[in-house]
Amino acid sequence: MLFLLMTLHSFGQRIMPLYEGAIPNSKPTKDVEKTSMSGDIKVVDHISIPTLTIYLPDERIATGTAVIIFPGGGYWVNAIAHEGTDVARKFTDVGVAAVVVKYRIPSDETMVNREIGPLQDAQQAMIVVRQHADEWKIDSHRIGIMGFSAGGHLASTAGTHFENPVVDNPAKVSLRPDFMILGYPVVSFQDSICHRGSREQLIGKTPTKEKIDFYSNELQVTARTPPTFLVHASDDQVVVPQNSIVFYEYLLRHKVPAELHIYEKGGHGFGLNNKTTVDLWFDRCKAWMSSNGWLNPK
């Protein structure tokens, strides 16, 4: 199975295991991963074996920039298509390499410590992409992360906790992303604005105040937090827009370059296409990336 994962190539993509050897923080368990449709959304659940799917752009338009993508799903599933592979293909159209992380679902059955499992996968993804930068023709100083909904919590955790490694890193590869793109993200675990389902799935139903604050990523922003682009909808009743707003405010407080787009409507989980507006937020994202030089060939 691992051989097939490492050698599968189709439509410009490659699927590979996230870890070469044993998966850290894992318990011996049967693989019961399943892909299904939830309405018109493709989801993968019970993930215990994380993988990377790599999308490389045509070399003629390649910029050297890469984005590591974490789909949403409340830390219960990965919405692998409209918040993962569809977005990756969009990035390759503008010369950006994209890596979709199918990250582990927090579970006491499959993990020794469920709360660090997803972050381990995020940090390992950064290590793997940087280590393959030459092979994939990526500039190791132009690697960003992107996440939607709970995947946005994972991305913002990786972007604010990079000085606290939870995965082996003997080569001391930098875990700091060069930029972040967050779509309707879960950011805060504070009672007033948190998405309770994501919080409970990651750190339990009765977390301590210390644990809530630790995973409220607005409180972890420093001057070293990467430049960030955020998009949300005012009428999002699942993950309220205050998550993006408070993160943006903390970024400004620490003088971190940031851009925030909040649409009047759109609800939650719109992926690339907010059907309530003719405006395309991905175009705003491209403009932001271009203004920062990440779409210029290097």
The 10s digit of each residue's pLDDT in 182-217 is: 999 999 999 999 999 999 999 999 999 999 999 999
- Domain count for the chain, please give it: 1
Strands (E), 64-213: 66-70, 77-78, 97-102, 143-148, 180-183
214-231 pLDDT, tens digit per residue, is 999 999 999 999 999 999
Read off the CATH number of the domain in which 136 is found. Answer: 3.40.50.1820
215 within domain boundaries: yes
- The reply to whether 149 falls in a domain is yes
Q: What is the pLDDT of residue 25?
A: 97
Query: Cα separation of 110 and 105, whole Å?
Result: 9
Q: Tell me, yes or no, whether 298 lies in a domain.
A: no
Q: What is the pLDDT of residues 117-162, one digit of tens each?
A: 999 999 999 999 999 999 999 999 999 999 999 999 999 999 999 9
Question: How many whole angstroms separate alpha carbon 20 and alpha carbon 17?
Answer: 7
> What is the extent of the structural domain holding 207?
2-291
Per-residue confidence (pLDDT) for residue 3, from 0 to 100: 42
297 located within any domain? no
Name the strands in the sheet holding 41-45, side by side, starting at the edge strand that comes first in the sequence.
34-38, 41-45, 77-78
Residue with the bigger pLDDT between 126 and 296: it is 126
